Amino acid sequence: GRNGDLKGRTIVVSAGGTAEPIDPVRVITNHSSGKMGYAVAEAARDRGARVVLVSAAKGLPNPPLVDVVPVSTAQQMCDAVLARTEDADALIMAAAVADYRPLSAADQKIKKTDDDLSIALAKTVDILATARGDFVRVGFAAESENLVENARAKVASKSLDLIAANDITSEGSGFGTDTNRVTLIDRDMNIDELPLLTKYEVGNRILDRVVQMFRA
Ligand code: PMT
């Protein structure tokens, strides 16, 4: 059973969409609510793990008995994840991290003058690619097409142990919902297509696989 099977383990989970400042009042962000990551954190806590939740989510209550580290930008999330995975057994990245940020945030609010405005963007740090160590590494992938193909490429390029790929075009799945439909793909490229489940149960299915990897 799942009861207490993560006792003695430390699991770092990321959640929410990062916000990259354009100026003091504006950000570039995405539709992640944080619900998926919070559900993973709660499921891991309920199985006895010590859970660190690095969260860029806004407006979700802190789950009891979870160590919440609030962050905003991709760089802040990266710093927190690197610090907290030093003694971790697993990292589960459910956050939607911005791939690009404004090259430099303006010190003052940008005034409305010209009809067009361009903002130069710079690539953000790839947290999963940077956070390497002696712990199980799980990613998520939100895809709008070629789900399995794109997710497999991410398993390989980030050398992940497991990825949960969600088709964000599928009903009841992806951003903001309490349910999700994911396909799990492991480092051996085994595919497990899960039905529509609550995000909490998706979290448990991922943790079942993590427990198996701890035992292997
Ligand atoms: O928060 P919710 O509203 O509940 O929605 C859940 C979700 C759709 C956000 C979640 O299930 C999900 O799919 N998260 C991953 C979103 C995504 O698009 O990931 P990606 O394909 O850009 O990145 C792949 C993996 O690399 C992810 O684990 C991501 O956290 C990680 N990543 C991405 C970019 C970056 N710079 N560093 C990273 O570590």
Mean pLDDT per 10-residue segment, the chain (216 residues): 91 98 98 98 98 97 98 98 98 98 96 93 97 97 92 95 93 95 95 97 98 95
Give the per-residue pLDDT at 1: 54
Give the per-residue pLDDT at 161: 97
Strand-pair partners of 163: 139, 185
Neighbours of 148 (CB within 10 A): 16
Ligand 1 center–CA 111 separation, angstroms: 32
Substitution site in 75, 76, 97, 158 for ligand 1 pocket (most atoms within 8 Å of beta carbon)? 97
Give the per-residue pLDDT at 2: 87
Ligand 1 shell residues, CB under 6 Å: 32-36, 74, 93-97, 99, 124, 126-128, 139-142, 154, 166, 174-176
Place of tokens 């075009």: 169
Ligand 1 center–CA 14 separation, angstroms: 9
Give the per-residue pLDDT at 216: 87
Interface predicted TM-score of the whole assembly (ipTM), two decimals? 0.98
The CATH class given to the 10-103+119-215 domain equals alpha beta
Distance CA 62, CA 70 (A): 10
Yes or no: say if 93 and 36 are a contact pair by the CB < 8 Å rule. no
Give the per-residue pLDDT at 64: 98
